[in-house]
Structure 1
Amino acid sequence: MEKNNLTEEFVRVLEAKEDAEAIRDADTEQEEKREEEDKDKVEEIKIEESLPHQSDKAVDQSPDLHYDLEKASEDIDRFLSSLTKENNGDVPGEISQLVEKYLDLVEEQVSGEGRAKWSLVPEEDSFFLEALDRISKLTKSLREVKSEKEEEEEEEKDKEKEKESRASLINRIGGIQQKAMSYLEEEFRILLEESRTNESSDPAIAGDSKGKQDYQQPESDSAGLDAVDFPGYSDDVVSNLNKIAKEMISGGYESECCQIYMMTRRHALEESLQKLGFEKHSLDDVQKMHWDSLEGEIATWIKTFKQCATVYFPREKTLADSVFSDYFHSISAGLFSNLTRGILIQLLNFVEGIAMSKRSAEKLFKFLDIYETLRDTVPSMDGLFHDESVNELKAETNTARCRLGEAAIFIFCDLENSIKSDTAKTPVPGGAVHPLTRYTMNYLKYVCEYKDTLEQVFNEHSKIERVDSTNRQRFEEGSETQSYNNNDNDENQSPFSVQLMRVMDLLDCNLEVKAKLYKDVALSNIFMMNNGRYILQKIKGSAEIHAVMGDTWCRKRSSDLRQYHKNYQRETWNKLLGCLNHEGLSNNHGKMIKPVLKERFKSFNQMFDEIHKTQSTWVVSDEQLQSELRVSISSVVIPAYRSFLGRFAQVLDPGRQTEKYIKFQPDDIENYIDELFDGNPTSTARRKL
C-alpha cells in the first residue's frame, strides 16, 4: 500500500483512523487486527520517507542548509494543507518528528551568529521571512484546532500523549518566534536609523534622484524654504521596512514594531526641527523673552511651520503609509497622527505664548505674520489626517488664531490711546512735522500693507475683542470727531476702516491742539501745513491707505492745506504789504510827504528783515510745499515792492538818503525769500555787510 506522494500517505493515515473508529464496535476481531496491521505499515512508510535517508548521510555529513530547509518547508506545507478540522487536531508522533526537524533547521537560521545584516543578502532575507510566516501559520493552525477540541470532552487516554506533543510544539514555535522577532526588531531599528543617516550623508546617493520615491525629492515650491532630502530612505530600504513590519505585526508584535517606529521617527523629526533652528519654549519662556530675541524666534517659527506643513508632514505620511501598507492603513494613520500631533502642539503653544505676551505697537506686524501663516498653511494639512485628528487640529489652530487675532486688534486699537495720551506742551521747533505725525503715519503705512488680513481679523475677532477692551465705544460712537470716508456711507465701512478713520481724526484733533502752542499764528499755520502735507503725501503714496481714506477725504485735506496757506499769507505778508500802501503819502495838494515815505521804507525794511530773520529758522521739509510757499510769497511781495520802489525812490535825495532808506532791491527780496523755511538762522543785515 505504499504511495509515491507524502500527502497521499497522510490521507491514507487519516482514512485508516476514521475507519478504525467507525468499526470499533464491530464483532469481527479479524477485521480489527487487519486494520491495525495496515496502520502500522503506513506509519513505517511515513517515518521512513520523512526522515533523512541513511544513504544521504553517508554521502554528506553536513547537508546544505537551504536544501534541507527547503525540502522540510515543502513537507510542512503539505502537512498544513492536510491539517483540517476533520482530523480533530491530532498530531501523530511521526508528524511531530517532522515538525521538530523543521524547527531545528529554522532555529539554526534564526540563532545563527554569522547571519549577515538585513538587506545585504536579499535571498537569505526572503527565505527567513518565509520561514517565519510558515511557523506562524503552523502555530495558528494548531491553536485553532486546539481551541475547538478543548470544547469537546476527550475520554480516550491514548489522545493525551498527542495533545502534550502538540502543546510542546506550540511552545517551541513560540520560543523561536520570540528570537526571530527580537532579531527583526533590531534590524527594523537599524534600517530606520542608519539607512537614513547613510543615505543623507552619501553625496553619490543624495545627488541621484533615481530610486527615490516622490516624497524624497525636494519640492520646487515649498513656501520659499530650502528643500531638504527628507526623510532620506531609498525604495529598497522602504521595501525592507515594509516586509519586516508586516512580519512583526502578523506575528503578534505590532506594539513593539510601532514603538520602534515612533521613537526613531520622532527623533528624526525633532532633529530636523533643530536644524531649522526651532527650539522648544514654554509659555513662561516666551512671555519672558525680550522682543529682539522673540522676533528672531518668530521668524524661525514661521519657517518651521511652513516646512512641516509642506514638506515634513506630507512626506512623513507617505513614509508611514509605505512601511505599513496593505491592511495596516489604520496603523500608519495612527502612527502619523501621534508623530505629528506632538510637534503641532509645540508649534501652537509658541503661538499661545506670543498672544499672551506683553502687547506693544511694534509687535503687531509679527503677530499678523503668524496669523497669516496659520491661515494660509493649516488648510493644506487637512488631507493628511483622519477625521478625528482633523477636527482636533482645527480646534487647536482656531483657538490660537482667535487669541492672536484678539491681541492684534487690541494692539492696533491701542494706537488710539497713544495719540490721546500725547499731550506734550512743548511745540516742535520751526513748526516742523511732529514726531507723533511721523510715527502714526509710518505705522499706518505698514499696517495697511496687511489690510486684507486686518479686515479679516477685525471681521472675525472684533466682537470678541470688544468684550475684552476698556474702550469699546470706538466702534459705536464715531461722532466725536469729524470723519471723511471714501464713499460718505459709514454703513459700508468695515470695522477696520472705521477704526483707521478714527485714528486719523484723533491725529487731526491732536495736531490742532499742538498748533495752538505756538504764539505766532503764522508759525501755527506753517505747523499745520507741514503736518497736513506729510499726512496727505503718505496717504497718496500708499494705495492701501488711500483705498480706505478715499478721494473725498484727500480732497478735504487739500482744501484744508490751502486754507492754512491763506492764513499764513494774511498773518505775515499782508502786514508787510501794508507798508507799501500809497495812501497817506501825499497831502491835499498832491505834494509827497517825505517823512511819511521815509517811515514807510523804514518800516518795510525792519519788518522784512525781521520776517527773514525769523522765518529762515522755520522748517518746511517737503520741497514741493517749500517751493510753493516761496513762489506764492514772491508773486505777492516782489511786484508790489518793485512798483512802490519805482514810483517813490526818486522822491528821496540821491546818495546818503537813498542808501539809508532803500536797503533792498527787488532781486534782493527774491533771494531772501528763497532763504525762508530752511531752518537756518540768518540776518539780512549781516548778509549785506
Structure 2
Amino acid sequence: MPVKIPNTLSILHSFKSSFSTISSPSSPSFPSSTSSSPKCPSTPHKSPSTPPHPHHTLSQSMMEENIAAAESVIAKHAADPTPFYGDHHEGREFLQAIKKLQDSMLFFVSKSNSNSNSDNNLVRAQTLMQTAMDRLGREFYHIMSVNRDNLDPESISGRSSIRWIGSDSDYSDTGSDEDSLATRESIQQNERLSSPAMLDIQSIAECMISSGYGKECLKIYKTLRKSIIDEGLYTLRFERSGPHQTHKLNWDIAEPKIKIWLNSSKIAVKTLFSGERILCDHVFAASGAIKETCFAEIVKDAAVDLFAFPESVATKCKKLPEKIFPILGLCDTLSELIPDIESIFSYESTSTVRSQAATAVAKLGDVIRTMIRDFESALQKDNCRLPVPGGGIHPLTHNVMNYVCALVDYSGTIVEVYSNQPLPVQSPLPELLIENSPTAENSLSSITVLFAWLILVLLCKLDGKAKLYKDVGLSYLFLANNLHYIVTKIRSSNLRYVLGNDWISKHDAKLHLYVASYENTTWGKAVASLQEDPTVVIERDAAMEVFQRFNHAFWAVYRAQTEWVVPDGSMREEMKVSVKKKILTAYRAFYWKYRVMVGHEKDTDIIVPDHLETYLSELFYSSSLSGPGCKGYSGV
C-alpha cells in the first residue's frame, strides 16, 4: 500500500526526532562516499541580522543565526544551476545548511504557540527549505541520470553481496556477539561494495525524506528507475502484453516468444529485479515502509507481466500434447526461479508477484499432467492396421520413444508435477511393472511408474501389431526389432537411471527369446532337412534327396526374407552370425561328405557352401524400403 509522506510542518509536530536522521553517525555523507557525517563548519556563515529582540533568549538568537547562515548557502546554490555533484566541499556545505535549517525549524515549532516571532521565523525557514529541496531534487535527478551505468541492476547485482536490508531491528544488538559482529561486517561490506553514487543518492534521499519532501524524492526516483526496468525488459526482448493478447497468438508466434522468455526470465529475476531491490533497500535503508512501497511501485507491474506469460501460454497449449516440451521448459525455469522470487519480492506489497509466479507454476503443472494423460490415451487408442514392411521399426515406436526419452530429461519437474497427484496409470499396477522396479522393496517412485507404464502400453500395442503379419517368423522379427530399438534408446538416455538395470536386463532376455523364436520358426525347416545323424553314412540317392530337400527349404525361406529387415547394424550382424552358425556349419559338413558321391551332373541343384555364406550375408537388407527399416538405418 502507498506510504503517506506528510509535509514539513506535520512532521515537525508529530515526529520531531526525525530531523536527527541526517546527522546520525550511521548515515553516509553527500556527496563523498568516504567522508564523515556532516559537521558544523568551523566558521559559520554570517548574514545581516536585525537587532536582538529584548525577549530573545540565547538559543533563539542562535537559531536565527542558523537560518541566516543557511539562507546564504541555499541562495548561492539555488541561483547556480551547475550541479555540485563531485564537489565534496559544496555538497557537504549544502547538507550542513539544511541540517541547521532543520534544527532551527524544530526549535521554533516548539515555541510557536507562545511567540509570534517564532511563527515568522518558521515561515521564513519553511520558504528556505522549499528552495533547498527544489535544488536538492535537481541534484538527486542529476546524480541518478549521469550514473545510470553505475546504477544499472546488472552492475549492482553483480557487484554487491548485500543482504536484504530490512527494518532497523534487523541490525539491532539483541542477538549473540557473533551475530552482531557478522551483521556489522555485512554492513561494512555493503558500504565498501556500494558505488559513491549509491551513497550520494542515499544521503540526499534521507535528507529529503527527513525534511518532509519524501514524496518529491520518490517521484524522481520511481520515474527514473521504472524506465530502467522497462528498458531492461525491452533489451531482453520480452514484450509486455496482457493475457488476452497472448491467447490470440498462434503457435508459430507463441513458440519464439517462449524461447525469448526462457532466455530472459533468469536475467530479469537474478539481475534486473534483484539489482533493483538491492539499490532500493540501500537508498531508502532508513525507512522500511518507504523502500517497500518504492520497490513495489517500480517493479510490480513488470514482474506480474513476466510471470503471467507462462500461465497464458499453458492455457493456450492445453489441448496440444505435442507442445509439452516448451511447457515443461517454462515450468522448469519458473520453478527454479521461485526461491529467488520469494526472496526478492518478500514484501507484503509485492505478494501479488509471488502469487502470480506460484499460480503460473500450478497452472503449468495442471497442463503438463493433462498433456501426458492425453498422450497416454492417444497411445491406447492407436488402431493402425497396416504392418510395417519387412518387420522394421514401427513409426509408433519411434514417436513414443522419442517422446519418452525427451520427457525424462525433465524428470525433476515431472516429479514435482506429480507430487501428491494421481498418476495416469491403471490400478492395481501390472505385475510386470512391479517385477521390473529398480527401487527397493517394490516401492515404486512416481517417475518410475509413469515411464514404465508408458513403455508397457507401447509394448502391448506392438504385441497386437505383430499379429498383423501372416508369417510367424516375421512377427518375431518385428518384435525383436522394436524391442531392441526400445532397449537401445533407454540405454542411451536418462531412462536407464529411471527404469534401472533390472528392467533393461529382463527386456534384453526377452529380446533374445524373440530372436531365438525367429530363427527356430524361420530356419528350423532348412536345418531339419539335413541328415539327423551326421555320423551315419547314407546312400547316394538318399544324399541327393537331402540336397534337394535342403535346397527347396532354403530357397523358400531366403526368397521370403529378401524383404525382411534388421535396421540396427550390430543386431543385424549378430543375427547373421547366429543363422550362419545354425545352418552353414551343418550344411558345410554334409556337403563335403557327399559332394563327390552325388557326382557333377546335378551341380545346378546343389548350393556351394561359399555361395550359401554369401546369400546369408545379404540377409536383412531391403533396397525396396525407405524410411525406418531401410538399408543402413541404425535404428537408434
CA shift at 1:677, angstroms?
Answer: 0.2
* 2-structure distance, mates of 1:79, 1:438: 104
Q: Which residue of 486, 492, 502 corresponds with 1:535?
A: 486
* 1-structure distance, mates of 2:158, 2:446: 46
Q: Which residue of 342, 346, 352 corresponds with 2:305?
A: 346
Q: What letter matches 1:350 in structure 2? A: F
**Secondary structure at 1:403's aligned position in 2?**
helix
CA shift at 1:334, angstroms?
Answer: 3.0
Q: What letter matches 2:76 in structure 1? A: Q
- 2:363 equivalent in structure 1: 403
1:438 aligned onto 2:398: yes
- 1:545 equivalent in structure 2: 495
Q: What letter matches 1:366 in structure 2? A: P
CA shift at 1:295, angstroms?
Answer: 4.1
**Secondary structure at 2:505's aligned position in 1?**
helix
Contact 2:296–2:350 (8 Å) recurs in 1: no
- 2:88 equivalent in structure 1: 122
1:189 aligned onto 2:141: yes
Q: Cα 1:98–1:380, aligned 2, differ >3 Å: closer, same or farther?
A: closer
Q: What letter matches 1:442 in structure 2? A: N
Q: Cα 1:70–1:610, aligned 2, differ >3 Å: closer, same or farther?
A: same
Q: Cα 1:423–1:77, aligned 2, differ >3 Å: closer, same or farther?
A: farther
1:267 aligned onto 2:227: yes
Contact 1:213–1:235 (8 Å) recurs in 2: no
* 1-structure distance, mates of 2:52, 2:85: 26
Q: Cα 1:306–1:264, aligned 2, differ >3 Å: closer, same or farther?
A: same
| Number of residue-to-residue matches in the alignment | 550
* 1-structure distance, mates of 2:437, 2:582: 36
Aligned counterparts, 1:631-650, within 5 A: 631-650=577-596
- 2:617 equivalent in structure 1: 674
Aligned counterparts, 1:598-609, within 5 A: 600-609=546-555
Contact 1:262–1:335 (8 Å) recurs in 2: yes
1:514 aligned onto 2:475: no
* 1-structure distance, mates of 2:551, 2:589: 16
- 2:179 equivalent in structure 1: none
- 2:75 equivalent in structure 1: 108
1:139 aligned onto 2:108: no
* 1-structure distance, mates of 2:240, 2:196: 35
* 1-structure distance, mates of 2:55, 2:337: 55
CA shift at 1:104, angstroms?
Answer: 6.3
Q: What letter matches 2:583 in structure 1? A: V
Aligned counterparts, 1:199-238, within 5 A: 215=157, 217=159, 235-238=195-198
Contact 1:245–1:257 (8 Å) recurs in 2: yes
Q: Percent identity?
A: 26
1:179 aligned onto 2:131: yes
Contact 1:618–1:678 (8 Å) recurs in 2: yes
The CA deviation string for residues 155-211 of structure 1, in whole angstroms up to 9 with x for no partner, is xxxxxxx73x554444343333323322322222222123215x589xxxxxxxxxx
Q: What letter matches 1:516 in structure 2? A: K
The CA deviation string for residues 544-590 of structure 1, in whole angstroms up to 9 with x for no partner, is 4233333443333223222222321222211223433479xx9xxx8
Contact 2:391–2:564 (8 Å) recurs in 1: yes
Q: What letter matches 1:252 in structure 2? A: G
**Secondary structure at 1:71's aligned position in 2?**
coil
Q: Cα 1:322–1:652, aligned 2, differ >3 Å: closer, same or farther?
A: closer
**Secondary structure at 1:280's aligned position in 2?**
coil
CA shift at 1:422, angstroms?
Answer: 2.4
Structure 1 residue runs without a partner (length 5+)? 1-65, 85-90, 150-161, 202-211, 220-232, 467-471, 683-689
Q: What letter matches 1:312 in structure 2? A: L
Q: Cα 1:674–1:213, aligned 2, differ >3 Å: closer, same or farther?
A: closer
Contact 1:483–1:501 (8 Å) recurs in 2: no
Q: Cα 1:571–1:322, aligned 2, differ >3 Å: closer, same or farther?
A: closer
Aligned counterparts, 1:132-531, within 5 A: 132-146=98-112, 148-149=113-114, 163=116, 166-197=118-149, 215=157, 217=159, 235-291=195-251, 293-325=253-285, 327-359=286-318, 360-386=320-346, 388=348, 394-460=354-420, 462-463=421-422, 474-479=425-430, 484-487=435-438, 492-531=443-482
Q: Cα 1:647–1:76, aligned 2, differ >3 Å: closer, same or farther?
A: farther
- 2:16 equivalent in structure 1: none
Q: What letter matches 2:148 in structure 1? A: R
Structure 2 residue runs without a partner (length 5+)? 1-40, 162-192, 626-636
Q: Cα 1:546–1:73, aligned 2, differ >3 Å: closer, same or farther?
A: farther
Contact 1:69–1:106 (8 Å) recurs in 2: no
Q: Cα 1:483–1:125, aligned 2, differ >3 Å: closer, same or farther?
A: closer
* 1-structure distance, mates of 2:158, 2:197: 13
1:564 aligned onto 2:523: no
Q: Cα 1:99–1:126, aligned 2, differ >3 Å: closer, same or farther?
A: closer
CA shift at 1:517, angstroms?
Answer: 1.3
TM value normalised by structure 2: 0.76
* 2-structure distance, mates of 1:260, 1:430: 76
CA shift at 1:388, angstroms?
Answer: 2.8
The CA deviation string for residues 209-258 of structure 1, in whole angstroms up to 9 with x for no partner, is xxx99756389xxxxxxxxxxxxx98332233123222221221111111
The CA deviation string for residues 48-77 of structure 1, in whole angstroms up to 9 with x for no partner, is xxxxxxxxxxxxxxxxxx999702499999
* 1-structure distance, mates of 2:224, 2:267: 20
Contact 1:136–1:251 (8 Å) recurs in 2: yes
The CA deviation string for residues 76-102 of structure 1, in whole angstroms up to 9 with x for no partner, is 999999477xxxxxx8xx999979966
CA shift at 1:421, angstroms?
Answer: 2.8
Q: What letter matches 2:123 in structure 1? A: N
Aligned counterparts, 1:570-649, within 5 A: 570-581=520-531, 594=541, 600-649=546-595
Farther off after superposition, 166-175 or 554-563: 166-175
Please tell me whether Structure 1 or Structure 2 has the larger radius of gyration of its CA atoms.
Answer: 1
Q: What letter matches 1:173 in structure 2? A: A
- 1:71 equivalent in structure 2: 46
* 1-structure distance, mates of 2:588, 2:96: 115
CA shift at 1:458, angstroms?
Answer: 1.3
CA shift at 1:672, angstroms?
Answer: 0.7
Q: Cα 1:306–1:103, aligned 2, differ >3 Å: closer, same or farther?
A: closer
* 1-structure distance, mates of 2:342, 2:50: 52
The CA deviation string for residues 416-466 of structure 1, in whole angstroms up to 9 with x for no partner, is 123223221111111111121122222222222232332232124x25xx7
The CA deviation string for residues 83-125 of structure 1, in whole angstroms up to 9 with x for no partner, is 77xxxxxx8xx9999799668646632541x342131543333
